[in-house]
């Protein structure tokens, strides 16, 4: 005998899930190519793109190949790239002096991209870790047990002006030094570069998820040294309120966009930041997040495309307006 039991329900939320068209109509969060920023790595020379073992599908590009990659990304509807240099050890020193070279690799890359793809926005990293022998984001104190905040900011200011003069649309101080956003804004304005925007790495945590990135920019070999710890300037992963203090300071100092990094493990921070600022919010799906999804997919444990999409939806749902992700090129055609 068939079970004739029937609930007398006024509200049946499943009604709006029963067909693909209804599910599309009621979808609350949509990720599109225009929401994505593609981080790219650049190296000297004209060599073929270099594979980064810990980041499958991500490469270090020479400038000619970087330009080709940027053209491809722009055709996919991705509006911005974020550039990171991988430098030869011979140009590095304790002070990160190469960061102030007017013909630095990163600046030549910017000029080449803006000439070839003028409508693609370009953002550059403002920090000293790719340029220093010790791998820190700034200049060390005399005792070499911390970063000299104010001395570092003085270099970052000059670096930001050089980048803006080379044509970047946005500079992104990722160093977490106190006061650097305000100092950079003042210097840009004074140099007549008030049109150059600032995306501040405002809530950047001292995360274990950055390992593959350090492989990509050549700072991984200094990891493990006593002087390598960045906990005196990057945020404690346990601290929520401290992150909101940093966000408020950066906004007051003139940041145009506020960033949270990493993204996936810090969705609660993204949501809180979204609720306390009217500025656009960016989130960086970092190298470790990318690598773990790729690794699990290669082992057959996860569906790569579905997991990638879900990870990006969760970041946007939490409140991010834009996402820096190494999946940008792979996922854009499917959005």
Tell me, what's the pLDDT at 271?
98
Tell me, what's the pLDDT at 218?
81
Q: Give the pLDDT band of residue 220 (cuts 50, 70, 90).
A: low
Positions annotated as catalytic residues are 204, 261
Q: Give the pLDDT band of residue 1 (cuts 50, 70, 90).
A: low
Residue 58 has pLDDT above 70, yes or no: yes
Residue 129, C-beta contacts closer than 8 angstroms, at least 6 positions apart? 135, 136, 137, 217, 219
Tell me, what's the pLDDT at 312?
98
Q: What is the mean pLDDT of residues 255-259?
A: 98
Q: Map out the domains of the chain with their CATH numbers.
A: 31-334 (3.20.20.70)
Tell me, what's the pLDDT at 85?
96
Tell me, what's the pLDDT at 46?
85
Tell me, what's the pLDDT at 228?
57
Please tell me the distance from the alpha carbon of residue 131 to that of residue 125, in angstroms, as a whole number. Answer: 12
Residue 258 pairs in a beta bridge with 200, 281
pLDDT over 70, % of the chain: 97
Mean pLDDT, the chain, rounded, equals 95
Reduce the DSSP state of residue 228 to 3 states and report it.
helix
Q: What is this structure's pTM?
A: 0.95
Q: Give the pLDDT band of residue 222 (cuts 50, 70, 90).
A: low
- List pLDDT tens digits, range 100-158: 999 999 999 999 999 999 999 999 999 999 999 998 999 999 988 889 999 999 999 99
Measured between alpha carbons, how far is residue 296 from residues 118, 243, 308 in Å? 38, 30, 11
Q: Give the pLDDT band of residue 255 (cuts 50, 70, 90).
A: very high
- List pLDDT tens digits, range 259-303: 999 999 999 999 999 999 999 999 999 999 999 999 999 999 999
Residue 224 has pLDDT above 60, yes or no: no
Helices (H), 117-219: 149-165, 180-190, 211-217
């Amino acid at each position: 005998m068939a079970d004739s039991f029937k609930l007398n329900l006024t509200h049946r939320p499943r009604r709006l899930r029963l067909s693909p068209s209804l599910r599309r109509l009621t979808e609350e969060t949509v990720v599109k190519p225009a929401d994505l920023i593609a981080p790219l790595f650049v190296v000297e020379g004209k060599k073929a793109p270099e594979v980064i073992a810990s980041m499958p599908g991500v490469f270090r590009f020479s400038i000619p190949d970087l330009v080709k990659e940027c053209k491809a990304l722009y055709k996919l509807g991705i509006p911005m790239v974020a550039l990171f240099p991988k430098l030869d050890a011979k140009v590095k020193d304790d002070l990160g002096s190469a960061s102030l070279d007017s013909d630095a690799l990163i600046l030549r890359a910017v000029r080449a991209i803006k000439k070839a793809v003028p409508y693609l926005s370009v953002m550059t990293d403002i920090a000293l870790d790719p340029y220093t022998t010790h791998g820190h984001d700034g200049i060390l104190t005399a005792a070499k047990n911390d970063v000299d905040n104010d001395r570092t900011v003085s270099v970052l200011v000059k670096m930001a002006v050089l980048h803006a003069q080379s044509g970047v649309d946005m500079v992104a101080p990722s160093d977490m030094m106190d006061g650097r956003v305000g100092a950079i804004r003042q210097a840009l304005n004074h140099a007549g570069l008030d049109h150059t925007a600032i995306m501040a790495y405002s809530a950047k945590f001292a995360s274990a998820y950055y390992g593959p990135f350090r492989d990509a920019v050549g700072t991984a070999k200094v990891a493990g040294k006593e002087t390598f710890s960045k906990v005196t300037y990057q945020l404690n992963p346990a601290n929520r309120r401290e992150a909101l203090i940093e966000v408020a300071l950066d906004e007051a100092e003139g940041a145009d966009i506020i960033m949270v990094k990493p993204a996936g493990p810090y969705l609660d921070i993204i949501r809180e930041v979204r609720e306390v600022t009217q500025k656009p919010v960016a989130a960086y799906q970092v190298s470790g997040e990318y690598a773990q999804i790729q690794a699990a997919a290669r082992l057959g444990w996860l569906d790569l495309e579905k997991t990638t999409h879900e990870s990006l939806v969760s970041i946007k749902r939490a409140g991010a307006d834009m996402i820096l992700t190494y999946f940008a090129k792979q996922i854009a055609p499917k959005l």
